Amino acid sequence: MAPGEKIKAKIKKSLPVTGPQAPTVKELMRWYCLNTNTHGCRRIVVSRGRLRRLLWILFTLTAVALIFWQCALLILSFYTVSVSIKVHFQKLDFPAVTICNINPYKYSAVRDLLAELEQETRGALKTLYGFSEITSRKRREAEPGDSAREGPGSKFLHLVPLLAFNQGETGKARDFLTGRKRKVSGNIIHKASDVMQVQDSKVVGFQLCPNDTSDCAVYTFSSGVNAIQEWYKLHYMNIMAQVPLEKKINMSYSAEELLVTCFFDGVSCDARNFTLFHHPMYGNCYTFNNRENETTLSTSMGGSEYGLQVILYVNEEEYNPFLVSSTGAKVIVHRQDEYPFIEDVGTEIETAMATSIGMHLTESFKLSEPYSQCTEDGSDVPVENIYKAAYSLQICLHSCFQAKMVEKCGCAQYSMPLPREASYCNYQQHPSWMYCYYQLSQAFVQEELGCQSVCREACSFKEWTLTTSLAQWPSEVSEKWLLSVLTWDQGQQIKKKLNKTDLAKLLIFYKDLNQRSIMESPANSIEMLLSNIGGQLGLWMSCSVVCVIEIIEVFFIDSLSIIARHQWHKAKEWWARRQAPPCPEAPPSPRGRDNPALNMDDDLPTFTSALRLPPAPAAPVPGTPPPRYNTLRLERAFSSQLTDTQVPSES
């Protein structure tokens, strides 16, 4: 033998065997089944009889299938939430309370701006309904020379003509201004007809035309009241959009005027505790408990004495007759950093009544991605927040609409804040904005603008559930003294004796200090998932991660390398045969176990036959090779440590 081969043999002997230790895949499988930690496989090998073996194969496969199924279910249900509701009795922060007069501006202050519009409105009312000013209200004496200015006006009716339709002849309409019938082209949109059947003979509406007046849209209403109010509102917004903010604030009510008395938690408060908030449609509103750089007030007792008590002065004589048709104030309870959407969610307060509003606080917390689609602070919503307030769904929708408005119509709608680099719509600059706005709001309501899909709800919100009850105030017997003292209180602001219909009393308080929090929490954690999977594995097969690693090792690494080795040998044989085709010395089949050439190879006879044989010398003695599967033999686990004890036991 060559010295090179000798060294090779020596190395092979001294270094442990690498690679899989079973000669064939079948042996490997058998070895695996006997030695694995999972329970089914061993039975397959150990069982006697074909039927039994088959049954065990079946059971094992079923168990494997069940494990896969159950684990898939576990993983699929991973992102579920569990909801917990907690009720705590504790000291609560008092919410911010925003109070507005329903009428935005003092009519005496805005009359100059609205004089023409008012005059035309009255004119339209007269031509259509025969409404005459004499019979209406006491306000008329304050109006100077009403009919004198009849001549030049009617620019509003020119811009947006009010029309009356007669049922049957859809193409024709009567113009209020001229009284003539004129042809109406374009589509007619019935504001009410989708919801209910209008069988009235007379339908009132107004016509909106874009710049080129070719494509007009007519909006009709079932009642003249709605039509005239909408028509008035359009023009009103147009006029007010051109008035600067300071002037508007001055035209509206001051805090001292609105709030006659104020009492919070047993302590007197006054106008200084309120912050001004100017709302385009409600004028000056005042927010209690929203002062910057001041601690939020809190209540440590429930009940009306410990809440906010205010008496509001609502001067009905200063109301705008066409813009608002109800009297009173509006109040909204909200979070300090939240924008009060008073036009959407306010509670109305009646005059000459004590309105007591008991609150219950509910806090909700949702889990954001990946559990639900909510957003924590709105930073991941692709809509710019034009309000100076914390994110809410409402804010997002309004901001989205305003952005579309600026994009499509080129100007901003008056009742919402201004986005950057935009101005409010008015006739002078944007003659067709009204048509555009109506089209857009139609599309918005029908969810065509995509705002509803872009905006997401906020993850946490506070909600105050209100219980409102009314009582008569002031009572008959206390009316006399109370009104006179209140008049004294108002002193400088007003120069007349207060009437009880000018006043409203409002009490806002926590009914009790129970805070209800609704919290979502993940139903599963990664630990739970693993332990559940572990439970499944253990239940069906007594398997663990170790078994999984075993399976990977045996089925993928070992068996593949065995197959690869087989192929390698075949290739080698084939190559050797091709190199030396006639070789009389060597036996034709090189696979015999007595072949000395094979001695150095890893591929060895089955270990059961070699088990009892003594280790063969390294010298090239023809004979059975030594067993190399030391580690495969169970007792060999101790061979290195326990040589001394093994000798007597084996001998």
Q: Does 325 bind other proteins (CB under 8 A)?
A: no
| Binding to other proteins in span 261-300, by CB under 8 A | 261-263, 266-270, 300
List the Cα angle 516/517/519 in 5-degree steps.
155
Which residue number, 116 or 256, has a Cβ lying nearer to other proteins? 256
In the bound complex, what is the minimum distance in angstroms from residue 553's beta carbon to other proteins? 9
The least distance separating other proteins from the CB of residue 347, rounded to whole angstroms, comes to 13
Q: Is residue 482 a contact point for other proteins (CB under 8 A)?
A: yes
Helical pair 107-129 and 224-240, crossing angle rounded to 10 deg: 140
- Which parts of 329-358 interact with other proteins (CB under 8 A)? 353-354, 356, 358
Residue type, 7: I
- Contact in structure between 165 and 176 (CB atoms under 8 Å): no
Interaction of residue 609 with other proteins, rule CB under 8 A: no
Least distance to other proteins, CB of residue 266, Å: 6
> Cβ of residue 548: shortest distance to other proteins, in angstroms?
10
Residue 105, Cα to own-chain centre: how many angstroms?
37
**302 belongs to the binding site for other proteins (CB under 8 A):** yes
Q: How far apart are CA 589 and CA 623, in angstroms?
A: 16
> Which of 242/304 has CB closer to other proteins?
304
CA distance 297 to 156: 49
User: Footprint of other proteins on residues 545-574 (CB under 8 A)?
Assistant: 545-547, 549-550
Restricting to residues 149-178, name those near other proteins by CB under 8 A: none
- The answer to whether 163 touches 111, Cβ cutoff 8 Å, is no
Q: Residue 533: CB partners within 8 Å, gap ≥ 6?
A: 71, 74
Query: How near is the Cβ of 118 to other proteins at its closest, in Å?
Result: 34
* Biggest CA pair distance of the chain: 139
Residue length of the chain: 651
Q: Are 120 and 156 in contact (CB under 8 A)?
A: yes
Instruction: Tell me if 543 contacts other proteins by CB under 8 A.
Output: yes
Please state, in angstroms and rounded to a whole number, the distance separating the CA atoms of residues 430 and 421: 15
Interacting span for other proteins (CB under 8 A) from 49-57, 166-174, 393-401, 643-651? 643-651
Q: Tokens in use for 31?
A: 């070895």
What's the min distance (Å) between Cβ of 126 and other proteins? 33
Of the pair 100, 506, the CB lying nearest other proteins is at 506
Non-local (6+) Cβ contacts of 473 within 8 A are 352, 353, 354, 505
Burial class (CB in 10 A: 0-12, 13-18, 19+), 466: middle
Closer CB to other proteins, 287 or 356, in the complex: 356
R_g over Cα of the chain? 45
- Least Å from the CB of residue 511 to other proteins: 5
Site for other proteins (CB under 8 A): which residue of 58, 65, 73, 470?
470
* Cβ distance to other proteins smaller for residue 203 or 310: 310
CB of 260 to other proteins, least distance (A): 7
d(CA 423, CA 405): 11
Q: Which pair of tokens denotes residue 639? A: 């061979």
Return the residues of window 430-469 that contact other proteins according to CB under 8 A. Answer: 467-469
Stretch that binds other proteins, among 179-187, 376-384, 530-538, 582-590 (CB under 8 A): 530-538
User: CB of 273: closest distance to other proteins in angstroms?
Assistant: 9
What mask, x for binding other proteins by CB under 8 A, covers residues 357 to 386?
-x-x--------------------------
Is 631 near other proteins (CB under 8 A)?
Answer: yes
Site for other proteins (CB under 8 A): which residue of 304, 439, 442, 499? 304
Please give the backbone phi and psi of residue 66, each rounded to the nearest 5 degrees, phi first.
-60, -40
Nearer to other proteins, 269 or 381 (CB): 269
- With beta carbons less than 8 A apart as the criterion, state whether 327 and 314 touch: yes
Q: For residues 387 and 540, which CB has a smaller minimum distance to other proteins in the complex?
A: 540
Q: How far is the CB of 194 from other proteins (least distance, A)?
A: 29
Q: For strand 347-349 and strand 329-334, is the pairing parallel, antiparallel, or unpaired?
A: antiparallel
Which residues, 81 to 140, sit near other proteins by CB under 8 A?
82-85, 87-91
Which distant-in-sequence residues (6+ apart) come within 8 Å of 152 by Cβ?
none
Out of 476, 584, 614, 651, the residue judged to bind other proteins by CB under 8 A: 476
Sorted by sequence, the CB contacts under 8 Å of residue 84 that are 6+ apart come out as: 518, 519, 521
- Residue position matching structure tokens 């009905």: 316
Which region, judged by CB under 8 A, interacts with other proteins, from 155-163, 424-432, 559-567, 642-650?
A: 642-650
Residues 237-266 that bind other proteins (CB under 8 A): 256, 260-263, 266
Site for other proteins in 49-88 (CB under 8 A): 82-85, 87-88
Considering only 5-13, 129-137, 415-423, 532-540, which stretch makes contact with other proteins by CB under 8 A?
Answer: 532-540
Distance set, CA 635 to CA 20, 45, 611, 630, 638 (Å): 19, 21, 11, 9, 6
Single out the residue of 2, 3, 14, 16 in contact with other proteins (rule: CB under 8 A). 16
* Nearest to other proteins of 54, 557 (CB atom): 557
- The number of angstroms, rounded, from the C-alpha of 324 to the middle of its chain's C-alpha atoms is 35
Applying CB under 8 A, the span of 14-22, 388-396, 454-462, 613-621 interacting with other proteins comes to 14-22
442 vs 544, which CB is nearer to other proteins? 544
| Contact call for residue 314 and other proteins (CB under 8 A) | no
End-to-end CA distance of the chain: 35
Residue 505 within binding range of other proteins, rule CB under 8 A: yes
How many chain residues bind other proteins (CB under 8 A)?
A: 98
Candidates 123, 224, 474, 625; binder of other proteins (CB under 8 A) is 474
Please give the sequence-ordered ranges of beta strands (E in DSSP) within 335-427, or none if there are none: 347-349, 353-365
* From 147, 211, 484, 609, residue interacting with other proteins (rule: CB under 8 A): 484
Element (H, E) at 284: strand 283-288
Nearest residue (CB) to other proteins, 85 versus 225? 85
Q: Which of 542, 563, 596, 597 binds other proteins (CB under 8 A)?
A: 542
477 is an interface residue for other proteins by CB under 8 A: yes
Residues 485-504 that bind other proteins (CB under 8 A): 485-486, 488-492
Q: Is the peptide bond before 370 cis (omega within 30 degrees of 0)?
A: yes
Residue closer to other proteins by CB (options 250, 531) is 531
In SS3 terms, 11-80 reads as HHHHCCCCCCCCCCHHHHHHHHHHHCCCCHHHHHHHCCCHHHHHHHHHHHHHHHHHHHHHHHHHHHCCCC
